[in-house]
């Protein structure tokens, strides 16, 4: 199987279902950003972190392929008028969202309460988490824009929203585990 097909040489690409759209279409921006996020999560997973985090990150990467598939599917080809699924593409389930919530709750139990915003950084691994969180927020913004025009399963949006929260809590937990300094953002008082 050849990697190059030459079908995109004129600036279009095919969605699942065969529909061709411009490569700058919001749908392509959406799932392209999810792909970028998945690569950043792979970078976090490659760090010297505990195995339970790595297992969760592998699960997240798997779910991000599901998110990408949802976003890459022409909605007219995804479901027949009868409501039956036409393409065999998995969906994000409530259990996937609940897993993120459970993981956040478990990490939060071990962390000091958050009293201020924190500046990203303190350790390279923590910084990778913050970068992934920002990319996740961008993916969510793009996906919500797409959803307004071409709705898809809303659990996809919910998953992206929860995932950015998870990445923030993971950054805090890794700061704690690595004994990295967590710098609070305390706004300077404005003199009148």
Mean pLDDT per block of 10 residues along the chain (192 residues) reads 65 67 79 97 97 98 96 74 63 96 97 88 96 98 96 95 98 95 83 70
Long-range contacts from 73-82, C-beta under 8 angstroms, 24+ separation: 73/15, 73/16, 73/17, 73/152, 74/15, 74/16, 74/17, 74/18, 74/19, 75/150, 75/151, 75/152, 76/17, 76/19, 77/15, 77/16, 77/17, 77/18, 77/19, 78/16, 78/17, 78/152
What 3-state class would DSSP assign to 115?
coil
Where would I find the H helices in the chain? 26-45, 51-71, 75-78, 94-108, 124-149, 155-177
pLDDT for 103: 98
At 137 the pLDDT is 98
> What's the fold here for domain 20-73+101-185?
Hypothetical Protein Ta1238; Chain: A; (1.20.1200)
What is the pLDDT at residue 190? 76
Give dist(CA 24, CA 148) in Å, integer.
17
Output the pTM of the full model: 0.87
Q: Where are the domains of the chain?
A: 20-73+101-185
Task: Supply the pLDDT for residue 74.
Answer: 80
């Amino acid at each position: 199987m050849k990697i190059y097909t030459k079908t995109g040489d004129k600036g279009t690409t095919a969605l699942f279902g065969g529909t061709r759209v411009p490569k700058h279409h919001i749908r392509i921006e959406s799932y392209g950003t999810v792909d970028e996020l998945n690569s950043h999560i792979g970078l976090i997973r490659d760090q010297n972190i505990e195995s339970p985090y790595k297992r969760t990150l592998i699960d997240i990467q798997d779910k991000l392929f599901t998110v990408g598939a949802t976003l890459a599917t022409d909605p007219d080809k995804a479901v027949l008028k009868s409501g039956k699924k036409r393409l065999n593409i998995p969906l994000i389930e409530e259990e996937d969202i609940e897993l993120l919530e459970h993981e956040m709750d478990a990490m939060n139990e071990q962390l000091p309460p958050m009293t201020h915003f924190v500046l990203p950084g303190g350790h390279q691994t923590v910084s990778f988490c913050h970068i992934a969180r920002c990319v996740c927020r961008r993916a969510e913004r793009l996906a919500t824009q797409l959803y307004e025009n071409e709705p898809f399963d809303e659990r996809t949006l919910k998953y992206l929203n929860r995932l950015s929260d998870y990445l923030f809590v993971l950054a805090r937990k890794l700061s704690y585990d690595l004994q990295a300094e967590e710098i609070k953002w305390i706004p300077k008082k404005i003199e009148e």
